[in-house]
Amino acid sequence: MHYGMPDDYVDIHTIGELLESEYVFSSAATQLRENLIMRLGDDDRYPGIIGLDSDVIPALDRAILAGHDILLVGQIGQAKTRLAQVISSTLLSPMPIIHGSITNDTPYDLPRTHLDTLLQDGAMPAHSEFYISPESTEYIRNNGNDAKIRWVSGFERSKFIVATPDVTVKDLVGYIDVAKVAKKGVEMYDISTYSPGYLMQAKHGIFCIDELPVLDARKQVALLSILQDGLFTAGSYPVVFRPRTVLFATANPVDYTHSGRIIEPLYDRLKSHIRTRYPSTVQDEMRIILQEATVRNYVIISDVMLCILAGIIRNVRDSPLVNQEKGVSVRMGIHGLELLIAEAYRARPDAIPCPRISDLHCLYQVARFELSEIDDTPQNRYDTLRDIIDQTIKNYDNNITIEQSDMDKIKSEFEGIEFHTSNTMSYAEQLQSLPTMSGVISGLINSGNFHYLNGNKSQNNDSIIKEAITPVIVEVLLEWLCRQTPKILERRDSKYVLA
């Protein structure tokens, strides 16, 4: 339930019904605060936001409870925009918007005397503020208490834009619509010629502007009066505009701290500055990847591969060769999982898609990071990622334990054998000559230490699932045997031989 909403609000369809209801009108900032208060005991009050409970979430709570406009400062792919979207979806109550309004007009935007006049088909009294659009004004006059309203969610009332060099002041505050001037035959600065910009389109919602420092100073000034006085003017229109919005902005720490591209008055009036970060644990990285990736319903994903993928992303992020100021987005892992699934499907079209180590080569397609210690060339990025993938596989802690007697048998069985690996192979034929290794693999699959997500809801046959998982465990086990002391196997390109 949301703050201020009567239980039967979905049955309220007209202004007359609304005015007779128990609906409590409140500002966007009040809605955020009151709805958050109702959810403070809920660990999932920001649905889909993972791994930020210890610092970012408490900071957001404080800012919202204090009624602050917020600047989120963080590297690429740290869920800054996602946070604003989740807040608009979760903590803003539905609002009764006048039918057809594109500026989220509500009857409560008008002084009550003005509203009563319109409901009786009277002319709007002279005013110096843009309360509702001329279209909404005319609609109420023509329909009175029967004027329709529509319950609009917080997300629909919010506006999310990316600051690019081509964003203009007119885009933000609105402009004269020449077509309206010609069609209506009115003076240029008659309010009926106004075409609303992003700010008025976000009335009673959240206005989120990504990469605020990209806006030049003149455009940032257009936001300044919103934060300072809650209003702005547009051109020579004889009224002031009050968007009644809560402002969220995002910035990369490089721009925010070094380039000085947020003008000081605006910087000062964004009351809460909150630092975001990447997930602090492999488990959180895995949960984000699995939550955000587009996973079809025909795939099986082992936790082994999910953990290795998350480990690769974290190792790229921590690499001294990678530009730490730019960061490495969580999207690299999300898009990486999608590619691994696609590669499994491409390489093995007759099998249930189940990504494995030999599919990892496709991650070069999502290697969107920047090198800092060596020349940032495609070949150097390729080599860096290849080395990180190899190191991540070697360091993966897979909790494999094998009896020494089985280890000795595996070593004996590998005499004179070259075990070839490829992401097109099932390994069934090669495993026939390695009975001990086959038995170990079956034992590992049945041990419960290797979990998997079965996205193929129509396929729960244990033998088919085992057939899909077996090559994953084969490749993991081969790497594990290369890491033992003394080494049992060693890898030479795409084949494994006795060490």
* Last residue of one domain, picked from the residues 349, 376, 395: 395
User: Which phi and psi angles does 454 have, rounded to 5°?
Assistant: -90, 95
* Last residue of one domain, picked from the residues 372, 395, 418: 395
Contacts 24+ apart (CB under 8 A), 186-191: 189/235, 189/236, 189/237, 189/238, 191/130, 191/134, 191/237, 191/238, 191/239
Give the model's pLDDT for residue 356: 96
Give the model's pLDDT for residue 333: 96
Pair 167, 219: CB distance under 8 Å:
yes
441 and 391 assigned to the same domain: no
Per DSSP, 9 falls in state G
**Series of mean pLDDT values for 10-residue runs along the chain (499 residues):** 92 97 95 97 93 96 98 95 97 97 96 94 87 94 97 98 91 80 64 87 97 90 89 82 95 65 91 96 95 85 93 95 90 96 95 94 91 86 94 84 92 94 94 95 81 59 82 94 92 92
Residue 57's nearest CA partner among 223, 252, 284 is 284
Give the model's pLDDT for residue 256: 53
Give the model's pLDDT for residue 193: 79
Domain count within the chain: 3
Residue 7's nearest CA partner among 26, 25, 21 is 21
384 and 413 assigned to the same domain: no
The CATH number linked to 179 is 3.40.50.300
Residue that has been written with the tokens 């075409």 in this structure: 195
Pair 244, 203: CB distance under 8 Å:
yes
Domain with 476 in it: 404-498
- Amino acid letter at 12? I
Residue 318's nearest CA partner among 309, 327, 310 is 327
* Last residue of one domain, picked from the residues 378, 395, 412: 395
What is the C-alpha to C-alpha distance for residues 231 and 241, in angstroms, rounded to an integer? 5
Instruction: Count the neighbouring beta carbons within 10 Å of the beta carbon of residue 237.
Output: 18
Give the model's pLDDT for residue 396: 85
- Four-CA torsion 377, 383, 388, 393, nearest 10 degrees: 150
201 and 270 assigned to the same domain: yes
